[in-house]
Amino acid sequence: MIPMVAKRAVTVLLYVTVLQSVKGFLLHTNDRWIVSESGKRVKLACVNWVSHLDGAVAEGLNQQPLDMISKRIKSMGFNCVRLTWPLFLLTNHSLASLTVRNSFQNLALLQSINAVQAINPSIIDLPLIKAYQEVVKSLGENDVMVILDNHVSQPGWCCSNTDGNGFFGDQYFDPDLWITGLTNMATLFRGVSNVVGMSLRNELRGPKQNVNQWYRYMPKGAEAVHAANPEVLVILSGLNFDTDLSFMKEEALKLSFNGKLVLELHWYSFSEGKAWASGNANQVCGEVTGNVMRRAGFLLGQGFPLFVSEFGLDLRGSDANDNTYLNCFMAFAAQFDLDWALWTLGGSYYIRQGVVGMNEYYGILNSDWSEVRNPSFLQRISAIQIPFQGPGLSEAKPYKVIFHPLTGLCIIRKSLVEALRLGPCSDSDQWEYTDQSTVSIKGTYFCLQAEGEGKQAKIGNICSAPNSRWEMISDSKMHLSAQINNSSGVCLDVDTNNIIVTNTCKCLTKDNTCEPASQWFKLVDSTRN
């Protein structure tokens, strides 16, 4: 029996806990990690939601009810939205006070007016700025964090070198007005607990871009946001469409505050043109990953979180260039356990670049926002939606999982008698890669062994022979290769039933037509329980 006094104390404690979890999201940084108030890692697994196009209205409200879209985001496993906004929405009162209806009328989007009126009647006559706030609120009600991303100044599709929105001093990019808009936005969402960060400006670019001006203005923007709203993470883009932060190797950024700065990086297949499809996949992956490390990845080692705030591909799945890129990207994202935001949520736009109802094949949802366009892709990225490592996750000592980027699965061993197969990474054994190049199960004498070409890989306990020494070969370093006899090596692979086998190593170099990704594996550090 609990005495009355103690009972009251318990009640008070519970109440405090509830308050905290409602207040909830406040984030800061600890070394390269984003963490909660209690210091536990929070991995940003976001999706971009476009709200910066001509009408300056969050897309999709003509397709599905707002609350349903928010719930769908949550149920797809995303914990966060990078919600874009055009600067002028926060600096031009006439624009901000235009209703959704007026905004669509100006664009002759009569069907969208009727649809929003029918599907989201509470939104259609709201001023644009209030409609934006409603979207943030709906996400908050569904436990989804928001990063406010200043995507452009002038509402409209982004980004080109010559669109006047690219760099300080461009036609639509006045630095002072930018500071004003950031301050207004930060102030508007002060105290809104699910707003956890602000991306200060998307994809800096164009003929005017340069490092000196970056160091001149970005700290000003960062300080303005911090002064107006000290609770948000301040997220800064690099140059060249947010692919290059290499200059930060030389010169530190001086800010008056600590523990809030995050750098963002964008990585698409088309940054390399068609190289992914026209080159050897191992060589392209090795080379591009090296470039990304030099341009941005090194920041992790300097103690900054790196947020890949845009990556994505044509989810119809038929673009060979995109598919090879994604295999390489998935390995990188898992290896460094990055924070990220998929481009993009919606499968269609009200109007984009003059085309009414344009389809978006990068959208995780289909054209009418009713279904997931490509469920196997969602399944695949679910592997990187939850953290592998980071402060406060578990007491477990670091171990390796053997990640298979093509499927988003990991090698698992159900029992000693069953075949090794691919399965959810959360079911992975705790593997270890030793100095002798064996891949063994931690704390045991068991290790991974090649039995021969076309045969299942096995677990054995004689681990000194060449068939249990696994070298990471090819430029991608993702082929795990062992010797089966004095003239032949094999690579780890999967068969059509996801059973782990060994086969002749595929297209290690030169061959530009073959696709090696079934043989790509990445040993990833994990402390998951």
The alpha carbon dihedral of 147, 152, 157, 158 has a sign of: negative
Nearest CB to ligand NAG, comparing residues 323 and 502: 502
Nearest CB to ligand NAG, comparing residues 169 and 424: 169
Please, what's the largest Cα pairwise distance for the chain?
A: 79
Binding mask 144-183 for ligand NAG (x = CB under 6 A): ----------------------------------------
Q: Which of 466, 509, 512, 513 binds ligand NAG (CB under 6 A)?
A: 466
Compute the distance between CA of residue 36 and CA of residue 296 in angstroms, rounded to an integer: 24
Nearest CB to ligand NAG, comparing residues 346 and 489: 489
Minimum distance between the CB of residue 113 and ligand NAG, rounded to whole angstroms?
Answer: 17
Nearest CB to ligand NAG, comparing residues 483 and 498: 483
CA 328 to chain centre: 14
Residue 457 backbone phi and psi in degrees, to 5: -75, 150
Minimum distance between the CB of residue 341 and ligand NAG, rounded to whole angstroms?
Answer: 28
Nearest CB to ligand NAG, comparing residues 11 and 485: 485
Nearest CB to ligand NAG, comparing residues 177 and 255: 177
Minimum distance between the CB of residue 487 and ligand NAG, rounded to whole angstroms?
Answer: 5
Please give the C-alpha separations between residue 475 and each of 121, 354, 509, in angstroms, as whole numbers. 55, 43, 8
Nearest CB to ligand NAG, comparing residues 92 and 456: 92
Stretch that binds ligand NAG, among 44-52, 66-74, 416-424, 480-488 (CB under 6 A): 480-488
Minimum distance between the CB of residue 59 and ligand NAG, rounded to whole angstroms?
Answer: 18
Minimum distance between the CB of residue 213 and ligand NAG, rounded to whole angstroms?
Answer: 23
Residue 151 backbone phi and psi in degrees, to 5: -90, -40
Within positions 397 to 456, which residues make up the interface with ligand NAG, using CB under 6 A? Answer: 452-453
How many residues line the site for ligand NAG (CB under 6 A)? Answer: 14
Compute the distance between CA of residue 325 and CA of residue 310 in angstroms, rounded to an integer: 14
Q: Are strands 339-342 and 351-352 parallel, antiparallel or unpaired?
A: unpaired
Within positions 486 to 525, which residues make up the interface with ligand NAG, using CB under 6 A? Answer: 486-488
Stretch that binds ligand NAG, among 248-256, 329-337, 479-487, 508-516 (CB under 6 A): 479-487
Stretch that binds ligand NAG, among 253-261, 350-358, 485-493, 515-523 (CB under 6 A): 485-493
Compute the distance between CA of residue 295 and CA of residue 239 in angstroms, rounded to an integer: 10
Within positions 321 to 350, which residues make up the interface with ligand NAG, using CB under 6 A? Answer: none
Please compute, for residue 321, the number of CA atoms within 13 A of its CA located in the half-sphere on the CB side: 11
CB contact at 8 A, 190 and 229: yes
Minimum distance between the CB of residue 484 and ligand NAG, rounded to whole angstroms?
Answer: 5
Nearest CB to ligand NAG, comparing residues 101 and 137: 101
Minimum distance between the CB of residue 95 and ligand NAG, rounded to whole angstroms?
Answer: 4
Residue that is written with structure tokens 């985001």 in the block = 73
Nearest CB to ligand NAG, comparing residues 84 and 476: 84
Within positions 84 to 123, which residues make up the interface with ligand NAG, using CB under 6 A? Answer: 88, 92, 94-95, 98
Minimum distance between the CB of residue 420 and ligand NAG, rounded to whole angstroms?
Answer: 19
Q: Which of 326, 345, 484, 500 binds ligand NAG (CB under 6 A)?
A: 484
CA quadruple 56, 60, 62, 66: dihedral, nearest 10:
-100
- Secondary structure (3-state) at 78: coil
CB contact at 8 A, 502 and 451: yes
Compute the distance between CA of residue 137 and CA of residue 360 in angstroms, rounded to an integer: 25
**b/e per residue, 387-397, with b = 16+ CB within 10 A?**
bbbbbebeeee
- Secondary structure (3-state) at 429: coil
CA-based nearest residue to 481, from 447, 519, 516, 507: 519
Angle separating helix axes 128-141 and 66-75, nearest 10 degrees: 40
Minimum distance between the CB of residue 455 and ligand NAG, rounded to whole angstroms?
Answer: 9
Question: Does 457 engage in binding with ligand NAG (CB under 6 A)?
Answer: no
Nearest CB to ligand NAG, comparing residues 230 and 466: 466
- Secondary structure (3-state) at 212: helix
* Structure tokens belonging to residue 118: 């029918």
What one-character DSSP code corresponds to residue 444? S
Binding mask 49-88 for ligand NAG (x = CB under 6 A): ---------------------------------------x
* Structure tokens belonging to residue 120: 């989201």
* Structure tokens belonging to residue 187: 């102030």
Q: How many helices (H) and strands (E) are present in the chain, helices listed first?
A: 14, 25
Nearest CB to ligand NAG, comparing residues 174 and 432: 174
Binding site for ligand NAG (CB under 6 A): 88, 92, 94-95, 98, 452-453, 466, 483-488
